[in-house]
Structure 1
Amino acid sequence: MASHQRDRAVAFGLQLSQAHRELRNRITRLKADLGRRRSADSVLVTHCLAFCAALTSHHEGEDKGMFDQLLKERPDLERTVANLMEDHQLIEGILRRVAALADRAAESGDLEAVRRELDGLTAIMDSHFAYEERTISAALDAGITDTGWSERVFQLGEG
C-alpha cells in the first residue's frame, strides 16, 4: 500500500475514535443540561433529538457503508460486524424511546424518564464504542477502501 494510502487508512482508525469521542461528549453535555433543568423545554428536546439523529446517522453509515466494505475486504470480521450491527439495533430501540420520552417531556415537563434512558444509553454506547474500536480499528488501519462511507460515519453534523 502506498504511503499516502496507508496514512489515509490509519486516519480512519483515528477518525472513528474521534467520532466516538464527539458522540460521548454530546451525550455528556445533553445529560448535564438535563441535570440543570427541572423541566423540559423545546430547546432541550431539540438538542436531544439532534443527538439521536447524529448517533443514528453514524451507525447507519457504519452499517450501510463501512461494514459492507470491511466484509468485502475482511470476511474474517463477519462475526464482529454482526455483533456490532446487533448493538446498533439495540441502540436504535433506545433512541426511539429517548425521542418519544423527550416529546412527552416537552408536554409534561418531566425529565426523569429521559434522564434514566440517557444513563442506560451512555453505558451501552461506552461498551459498544470500546468494543468497536478494539475489534475493527486494526482492520481500518491496515487499509479499507473508502467508497464514500467515511463522510457519513465521521461527519456528525452540528453538535
Structure 2
Amino acid sequence: MTTSPQPADRLAAFGNQLVDVHLWLREELSRLREDVDAFLSGGADRPRNLRAHCLAFCTALTRHHTAEDQGVFPVLAETYPSLRPVLAELARDHEQVEEILRRLQELLDALPGTEAGTEPDPAEVRRVRGELDGLVALVESHFTYEEKKLVTALNELGTPLPDDFRLADLTGH
C-alpha cells in the first residue's frame, strides 16, 4: 500500500528545489559560455543558435528570479523578518543580473556570423566575454549566497511556493 506524501514532506523540499534549480542554471550557463567561446574563437558558425541558447537561458533565469521576487521572497520576509536585509540584497542582485543579461543579448544579436565571411570585431569579442564573465561571477556568488542564507528557511517553510519556482517549470520537464 502506498501513501501519498504529507504536505509537510512536499514543502520541506523547497530549499532542496532551490539548489536543484541553481545546479541546472549553472550547467546551462556553463554550456552558454562554451558556445560563446566556440563562436568567438571561430570554432562555431551558428550565431542564430547561440542567440537562441542565450535567450532560452536568459528567459529561464529571469523566470526563476521573478518567481523569487514576487512569490518566494515576500513569503520568507513575512515568515522570517530577520531575512529581510538578505532578501533585499538578493533582489538587487536580480536587477543587476537582468541588466547584464540584456547587454549580453544585445551584444550577441549584433555579432556577425562567420558564415558571412566576417569575423567579429576584437573589441566586440572583448565586450561579449566581459559581460559573460561578469554574469558568471555574479550568478555564482548570488547562488552561493542565496543557498547559504535561504535553504534552511525554505525547507522549514510551510507555505506553498509559486509554480515557477520548480525546476520542471524552467526546463520544460
Q: Which of the five TM-score ranges fits, normalised by the shorter chain?
A: 0.7 to 0.9
**Based on CA coordinates, which of the two structures has the bigger radius of gyration?**
2
1:116 aligns to 2:130 (yes or no): yes
What is the one-letter code of the residue matched to 2:138?
A: I
SS in structure 2 at match of 1:146: coil
Aligned partner of 2:159 among 126, 145, 153: 145
Q: Secondary structure at the match of 2:171?
A: coil
Structure 2 portions without partners, runs of 5+: none
Matched, 1:4 2:18: no
Q: TM-score, normalised by structure 2?
A: 0.81
* Mapped contact 2:8–2:158 kept (Cα < 8 A): no
Mapped pair 1:132 → 2:134: no
Within 2, Cα distance between the matches of 1:158 and 1:33?
Answer: 21
* Aligned: 1:90 with 2:90: no
Partner AA of 1:121 in structure 2: L
Unmatched tracts of structure 1, length 5 or more: none
Query: TM-score, normalised to structure 1's length?
Result: 0.88
Aligned-residue offset at 1:119: 1.5
Amino acid in the other structure paired with 2:165: V
Give the letter for the 1:139 counterpart.
A
Separation (CA, whole Å) in 1 of partners of 2:155 and 2:56: 30
1:63 matched residue in structure 2: 69
Name the CA distance, whole Å, in 2 between partners of 1:106 and 1:78.
45
Whether the 8 Å contact between 1:41 and 1:109 is mirrored in structure 2 is no
